[in-house]
Amino acid sequence: MSRAEAAYRWASKMAEAIQSSAWLEQGGSGRVDIQGTCSIGRAPSNQVVLADDKVSRRHAVIHAQDVDEFWLVDLGSSNGTYLNERRVAQPIRLWDQDKIEIGPFRLMFRQPHAARVSTLEQTDVEKTLHEIKSSHCWLLVADIEGSTQLSRRLSPDELPVVTGQWFNSCKRIIDASGGSIDKYLGDGFLAYWHGEERAAPQVARALTELKKIQESAQLAFRIVLHYGRVFTGGVTASGVERLFGADINFIFRMERLASLLGESRLLSETAHDRIKPNLPTKEAGRHLMSGFEGQFLFLSF
């Protein structure tokens, strides 16, 4: 068998895996394949429409991220989203045959073939289907502060509504500003924007809107923003590209630094240099970053 024929056969297998990597089943109503973000709710615009008064218009989403992971996110629905009979209070990863309950509807998540392609075979197919590319991106991490204290302050019924509404509000802001959420992190998320000059005003608007939510005092959370080089590529069965590289590690180090400094909003110097005409800032000092050489200037806003 020639290399070209072998590559074609593996490409065909991966195409089949992508087409049927994960799906939702609902009794005898067939299945809904999940590609990227799958929205669930009462509104007709959702990928999965559940027509019942106990279901919110935008009730929940299933978000594809990393290597064939799918995460369930409740969007602050009044009646809640239940996973295996437990109410979802924050984004949570789904596994094959997990049971999702929304109002009177029972859905089963299916992903039977996850991670069954060997690393060597997957690497060959990735080279065939997707070239690894590098580009410069705006990277933003937001995460809830004091989630343990929050769970003590709010009742079990209140907590999922408050956190879900926060995720929903943040997602709307990111989407409206031309950004995308790369992944959910339990009590936070990583978002990104491509482009430098074109995206800077949109990123600044997103920061301003997120700051307004912070100042509403309903829920305390941190925001950190960095501008750096990332790599994208590599096929996954979920059909989404992976985002990776040293600057991804850098932004998560920034989030920990912001926590240590007690800063609720922090910019890297590279982000500040590109966004400063759109956002007033003040210096937060120079600091060492684990795994990176030298000291780095950071600014608050």
Looking at the fold, whether 206 and 253 belong to one and the same domain comes out as yes
Write the CATH number for 209: 3.30.70.1230
Phi-psi region of 185 (alpha: psi -120 to 50; beta: other; left: phi over 0): alpha
**Residue 47: what pLDDT?**
94
Looking at the fold, whether 187 and 223 belong to one and the same domain comes out as yes
Edge-to-edge order in the sheet of strand 23-25: 31-33, 23-25, 105-110, 99-102, 82-83, 86-87
Asked if residue 285 has pLDDT above 70, the reply is yes
Residues 6+ away with beta carbon under 8 Å from 37: 61, 62, 63, 64
Asked if residue 126 has pLDDT above 60, the reply is no
Q: Is residue 4 one of the residues assigned to a domain?
A: no
| pLDDT averaged over every residue in the chain | 86
Looking at the fold, whether 99 and 178 belong to one and the same domain comes out as no
Letter for the amino acid at 187? D
Q: Is residue 12 one of the residues assigned to a domain?
A: no
Write the CATH number for 105: 2.60.200.20
**Residue 286: what pLDDT?**
97
pLDDT tens, position by position, 38-77: 999 999 999 999 999 999 999 999 999 887 899 999 999 9
The pTM for the full model equals 0.81
What is the separation of C-alpha 148 from the centre of its chain, rounded to a whole number of angstroms?
Answer: 21
Looking at the fold, whether 96 and 139 belong to one and the same domain comes out as no
Q: Which structural domain range is residue 216 located in?
A: 133-300
**Residue 154: what pLDDT?**
87
What percentage of the chain exceeds 90 in pLDDT? 65
Asked if residue 118 has pLDDT above 70, the reply is no
Looking at the fold, whether 148 and 280 belong to one and the same domain comes out as yes
Q: Is residue 6 one of the residues assigned to a domain?
A: no
Looking at the fold, whether 163 and 223 belong to one and the same domain comes out as yes
Q: Is residue 73 one of the residues assigned to a domain?
A: yes
In 3D space, the residue among 139, 149, 123, 111 whose CA is nearest the CA of residue 237 turns out to be 111
Among 110, 144, 161, which residue terminates a domain?
110
According to DSSP, the residues that pair with 266 across neighbouring strands are 224
User: What's the structural domain count of the chain?
Assistant: 2
The stretch 177-196 carries a mean pLDDT of 92
